[in-house]
Structures are given as structure tokens and as C-alpha cells.
Amino acid sequence: MFTISPSVYSADLLDLRQVLKRLDGFEHLHLDIDDGNFVRGISFGMDVVRGIAACTDVPLDVHLEVQNPMAYVDDLADAGVELICAHVEALDYPSLFLSSVHNRGKKAGLALNIKTPAVFLEPYVDQLDQVILVSCEADVDGLPFRSGVLKKVAQVRSMLSDPAKVWVDGGVNETNLKSVINAGAGGVVLGRAVFGAKDPVGAYQRLLDLGRTYEKERDGNAV
């Protein structure tokens, strides 16, 4: 079933404890860990991840945008994160990463930047609990959604038996949500669309309901 994982990085970081207390009904929370090397920004360190995990019962999924993902596996597993996803571009041996996460009793995934073809996932499909397809890239216009990723969503969906494993991350909002779901996504990461709203819980629930309506329409048309 279609799901949304709101990105904590878009929340009020100076009031994070109170934000976490108000997340009634959330199915996931998304943590971007950026090291300032693989990507330009720096986000959460492990102390913050452990603090977030201690403040909420909402399941946490982590998107590692770092140069050495293997170095994070044990600490994230110990913190209680449920799903750990790393970029295939940062892994010499993606299978080793995936099996290391699974050996810690956690779900594992791979992420692809816009420039990376879907074919890079083919050797690992039997190990994947999640694929994150990044759908924006920093440029002079900011971080706009790139519709060209929709073709890749369809390609990855055809590789995987479960549509819930295919997530899209970056620039997704109410305007393009239907296109993302129609392409085959089973989940999206949303930031400002949820935490930028006056009522984040209400925005989350409205978008979740809307997404599940689009999913039913898509699957009904496929029958």
C-alpha cells in the first residue's frame, strides 16, 4: 500500500522534540544523513539520530548520502533504525552493504541519483527491500522535480515484485504526485509538503489519502 515518509530535515530543527511529539498517525519518518562530501550539505550525525529514535515510536528509515555507507550500518542498527538505504554510486560492493544490513536484522535498500541508470540495480533485486530514486538535483533553479525520472520509476517497478519497494525522493508534491504513482512508485519522501504546512499531520494525512486514491485508480486500470 502506498506510503509517505516525511523528511525530518524539513522540520523545525530547533524545536525537533516538540515536532516529534505531534506526529500522530505517521507510518514512517525519513532521515537524510549527508556527510558534506558525497553531497554538498551536512545534516544529521549519529547523536541526533539516536536522539530522534529515543523521542518517537514512528519507524525510521535512513537515506545515506555519504561516501562510506558501510561505516554507518552498525551505529544505525544499534539506534533502532528499521530501514537503511545507501547510494549505489558510493558502494564498491552493494551486495556486501545489503547483506550487512540484513545481518543486523534491518531492511536494506539502494538509492540512485538522477544520472544513474536503473540497470545498476539488476544484480541486487533479490536483496532489496527498498529502492530510492532521487528525482531532483541541485542546480541554478534550486531543487525542482525532474520528470525524466518517471521513466526510471517504471523501469525499476518492472524489476521488483512489490511496488511498495519503489520510492521517489525529491521535489514531490501534490502537483506531480499522481504522475509519480502512475509511473509505479509505492512510496514517496516528502519534506516541505508536510513539514512546511501549518498543520503537518493534516497535510500528511491528506496527501496519504490522495496517494492511495491514485494507487487504487492505477491498479484498477491495470487489471
List the alpha helices (DSSP H) in 70-199.
73-79, 94-103, 149-159, 177-183, 192-195
Q: Where in 104-217 does DSSP place strands (E)?
A: 107-112, 130-134, 166-169, 187-190
- Identify the DSSP state of 1: -
List 32, 35, 61, 129, catalytic entry: 32
List 61, 126, 169, 209, catalytic entry: 169
Nearest Cα residue to 94 out of 142, 59, 126, 60: 126
Catalytic site includes residue 32: yes
Catalytic site includes residue 141: no
Q: Residue 177 and residue 211: Cα distance in Å, rounded?
A: 7
Which residues are identified as catalytic?
Answer: 32, 169
